[in-house]
Amino acid sequence: MICNTCGRVIKNEEANFCEYCGASVRGRNGFDMSSSPIPPVTDAVTVDHKEKPVSFLNWLGTCLLVFIPYVGSFLFLIMLFVWAFGHNVPESKKNWARANLVIMLILLVISIIIINAVGIDQIINMIFGDMSQYYNIY
């Protein structure tokens, strides 16, 4: 007789329960369920435990990249694309870079909409004020 739950062979033909897992080997009303097919064995989901988390110093270097004079912002943007679409990048850093790119895209679209709605002249005037008094512009 074969157990329907664990698939092991039960030596005692008179047994009502599997001696290995304890599952019932008889159906309702005492009918023998040993003639039914054995459930298929499924592969367990494997989790990759080899991927180490991104270290503190790696994250610190990533965040401080923006503060490099003159080229930091451009270098950070380029590195976001490398991290988001690179092959040898940890999954957590890849997802973080993709989220940053999506946020930057949303902010770019919102700023374009605001510039078109308000007008670039009024935005410059709001930021710098009326500069005509300093340059004698009539």
User: Does residue 121 fall inside a structural domain?
Assistant: yes
User: Does residue 51 fall inside a structural domain?
Assistant: no
Report for 14-23, 25-34, 75-84: range of highest mean pLDDT: 75-84
Range of the domain at 128: 56-132
Choice between 44 and 131, residue whose per-residue pLDDT is larger: 131
Tens of pLDDT, residue by residue over 85-134, are 998 888 889 999 999 999 999 999 999 998 888 888 787 777 777 666 66
Same domain, 29 and 60: no
Pairwise CA distance, residues 2 & 17, whole Å: 11
Pairwise CA distance, residues 69 & 96, whole Å: 24
Residue with tokens 């988001």: 84
Tens of pLDDT, residue by residue over 46-95, are 555 456 788 899 889 988 988 999 899 899 999 999 999 998 888 889 99
Query: Is the pLDDT score of 19 beyond 60?
Result: yes
